[in-house]
């Protein structure tokens, strides 16, 4: 889908089809804000990777590709998410505990793409196996003791399957492609229009802009509810208000 599809829909709402009030550059900036908001607050951009478990390594970071982690599995079972404060209540010395398999993930949304495994895995069977893949097929195996490996093959002992909301590449031109289906056109068009109207300081424009953002919120929640029925998160869905 081209970015122009969403921007054209936004300009229709703004009655600015001739591009006399808002430049493409400003609306593209707002569109990027909207894409980030969708990634943070919904599961529209959910993807997954496999990470190898490394011996004596507790912290894993995929924030180069993820804005939020929604679920982590070990051997196809969901690992519960818990905060550091929650772990402190359970076990005062939890950061030094060791074991052979992970049982909990220390994570909050403020962590973005970074999480900690509990306990420290000391005897992972394939902690240093690097699988070279091409189109999902293993083509070579080598060894490394320093980095967690992102893989594309099925889960075995020693792997974590991480579900995450991926970052969308910034849009720079109206001819750029948005990696999303057509269902997001209407919500994002309201987001862009609402934010654009709130650029103005007059009361009427800001009031109408707030109405457009409420339309965005309503549509996002409706679409997200439909998706949640087919995708179970590791934690409860958090309702979101883009105005507050």
Please write the tens of the pLDDT for every residue from 55-86.
Answer: 888 889 988 888 889 899 988 889 999 999 99
Residue count of the chain, please give it: 244
Q: Distance from first CA to last CA of the chain, Å, rounded?
A: 30
Q: Where are the beta strands (DSSP E) in the chain?
A: 46-52, 59-61, 66-74, 77-78, 81-82, 98-99, 104-106, 114-118, 120-121, 129-134, 137-143, 150-151, 159-166
Higher model confidence: residue 193 or residue 56?
Answer: 193
What confidence score (pLDDT) does residue 140 get? 36
Higher model confidence: residue 65 or residue 172?
Answer: 172
User: Tens digits of per-residue pLDDT, 118-164?
Assistant: 998 876 654 444 443 333 333 333 333 334 445 444 434 578 889 98
- CA 36-39-42 angle, to 5 degrees, is 135
What confidence score (pLDDT) does residue 201 get? 86
CB 116 within 8 A of CB 59: yes
According to DSSP, residue 156 is labeled: -
Cis? peptide before 17, omega within 30° of 0 = no
What confidence score (pLDDT) does residue 45 get? 77
Taking alpha carbons only, the member of 155, 141, 158 closest to residue 55 is 158
What confidence score (pLDDT) does residue 52 get? 83
Average pLDDT over residues 196-220: 93
Mean pLDDT of the chain, nearest integer: 80
pTM equals 0.64
What confidence score (pLDDT) does residue 157 get? 55
Hey, which residues does 73 pair with through a beta bridge? 78, 161
What confidence score (pLDDT) does residue 127 get? 41
Higher model confidence: residue 151 or residue 111?
Answer: 111
């Amino acid at each position: 889908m081209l970015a122009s599809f969403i921007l054209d829909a936004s300009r229709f709402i703004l009655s600015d089809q001739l591009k006399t009030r808002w430049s493409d550059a400003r609306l593209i900036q707002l569109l990027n804000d909207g894409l980030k908001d969708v990634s943070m607050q919904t599961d529209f951009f959910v993807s997954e990777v496999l990470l190898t478990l490394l011996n004596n390594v507790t912290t894993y970071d995929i924030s180069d590709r993820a804005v939020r982690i929604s679920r982590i599995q070990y051997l196809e079972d969901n690992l519960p998410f818990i905060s550091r404060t929650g772990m402190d209540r359970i076990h005062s010395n939890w950061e030094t505990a060791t074991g052979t398999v992970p049982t909990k993930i220390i994570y909050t949304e403020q962590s973005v793409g970074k999480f900690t495994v509990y306990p420290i895995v000391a005897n992972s069977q394939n902690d240093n196996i690097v699988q070279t893949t091409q189109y999902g097929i293993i083509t070579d195996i080598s060894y490394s003791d320093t980095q967690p490996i992102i893989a594309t093959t099925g889960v075995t002992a020693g792997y974590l399957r991480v579900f995450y909301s991926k970052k969308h590449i910034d849009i720079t031109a109206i001819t750029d492609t948005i990696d999303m289906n057509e269902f997001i056109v209407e919500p994002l068009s309201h987001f862009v229009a609402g934010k654009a109207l709130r650029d103005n300081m007059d009361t009427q424009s800001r009031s109408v802009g707030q109405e457009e953002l409420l339309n965005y919120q309503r549509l996002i929640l409706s679409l997200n509810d439909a998706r949640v029925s087919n995708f179970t998160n590791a934690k409860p869905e958090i309702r979101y208000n883009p105005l507050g």
